[in-house]
A and B are shown apart, each in its own frame.
Chain A
Amino acid sequence: MTALRRVALVGGATTKFGVRAATWSELVQEAGTALFRAVPELSAKDVDSLFVGAAEPERFAFQSHVAPLAAELLGIQPRRVLQRTELACASGQSAIRSAYAAIASGLSDIAIAVGVEKMNIPSMAEANTSMACVMDRPWDGAHGATAPPFFAMVAQRHMLEYGTTEEQLAAVSEKNHRFANANPDAQFAEKTFSKEKLLRLPWVSPPLRLGDCSSMTDGAAAVLLVAEEFARRYTDTPAWIRGTGQYSNFHNLAQAGSLTDWVGLKIAAAEAFRSAGIGADSLDFAELHDCFSISEIVEYEALGFCPPGAGGAFVADGQADIGGKVVVNPRGGLLGCGHPLGATGIAQAVEVHCQFTHAVPAARQVPDPNWALVHNLSGSANVHSLMVYQRGGPP
Chain B
Amino acid sequence: MSTDSPEAVRPRTGPRPGAPPLPASTEPAPTPPTASASAATPPARPAAPKVPTVLDFYPMETAATTRVAAFFDNLRAGRFTTTRCRKDGTLLWPPRVSCPECHGDDLDWVDLPPNGHVYAFSAVLLGAPLGMESEVPFVVGLVDLDGAPLRLFGRIDGGRWETLRIGDAVHVVPVPLDDGRIFYRFVRDLAGSATGATPPA
Residues of A within 8 A of B (CB): 123-126, 128-129, 131-132, 136-146, 148-149, 152-153, 155-157, 159-160, 202-208, 210, 252-254, 256, 259
Contacts and interface: CB of A to CB of B under 8 A. Distances in A.
Q: How large is the interface on B (under 10, 10 to 19, 20 to 34, 35 or more residues)?
A: 35 or more
A245 to B, nearest CB: 23
Nearest to B135: A144
A254 B152 contact: yes
Nearest to A203: B125
Contacts of A123: 130
Interface string B137-159: 01011100000001111110000
Given A143-B153, A145-B140, A256-B142, A206 B129 contact: no
Contacts of A202: 125-126
5 shortest interchain CB distances as A-B pairs? A152-B122, A138-B59, A153-B120, A253-B153, A159-B201
A146 B124 contact: yes
Interface of B: 57-60, 93-94, 120-133, 135, 138, 140-142, 150-155, 161, 166, 183, 185, 199-201
B12 to A, nearest CB: 11
A129 B130 contact: yes
A144 B161 contact: no
Contact of B125 (A125, A129, A131, A204): A204
Contacts of A136: 94
A133 to B, nearest CB: 8
A129 B199 contact: no
A152 B52 CA distance: 31
B190 to A, nearest CB: 21
A149 B123 CA distance: 6
A143 B154 contact: yes
Contact of A146 (B121, B129, B154, B183): B129
Nearest to B122: A152
16 contacts: A124-B127, A125-B130, A129-B129, A129-B130, A132-B129, A138-B57, A142-B59, A143-B140, A144-B135, A146-B124, A204-B125, A205-B122, A205-B125, A252-B93, A254-B153, A259-B142
B130 A204 contact: no
Contacts of B154: 143
